[in-house]
Amino acid sequence: MKEAIITDALGVFQETTLVADDVTGVFPIYGSPEEDNEEEVPESVITGYQIAVSIPPGLFTPKWDFEAEAWTEALSAEEIEKLKNPPQPVTLQDRVSQLETENASLKASAARANADLQEYMEFSMKVQEEQKTQQARMNADFQELIELLTQEG
């Protein structure tokens, strides 16, 4: 027995299977199409291939090239580069440092917001005091006017 490859309909590696030692070549795998039409009897379609040709080493995602009758790489150069050089995980110290920086930024932002709120509150209280003073003057003026009118009248 030897290993053969099962691919999807495009020739991309899916899984392995065992075949007799004398089996070589590419064999279609037939299945039913995935349609909801129950009235017609579905005809078989190629859903994949069994390929009894060994995969050369070094391929990340093997794909059978039907024209060249050989295995090729299904991934792009960029995808292979990402696999070869995965991003480095963040160390605990780096994460702590990042969180400390974010915390300092948030504290500064909160301090600015508190200062703005304090300034607004002081401004608001000043305006209220001015309004009270103005209202008191208006009340006094109104009272004086009433007294003048009652004296004349």
Look at residue 135 in the predicted model and tell me its pLDDT.
96
Average pLDDT over residues 37-50: 78
Residue 31's pLDDT band (cuts 50, 70, 90):
confident
Average per-residue pLDDT in the chain?
90
C-alpha 11/C-alpha 68 separation (Å) is 12
pTM above 0.85, yes or no: no
b/e code 81-96 from CB counts within 10 Å (16+ = b): eeeeeeeeeeeeeeee
The predicted structure's pLDDT at residue 35: 61
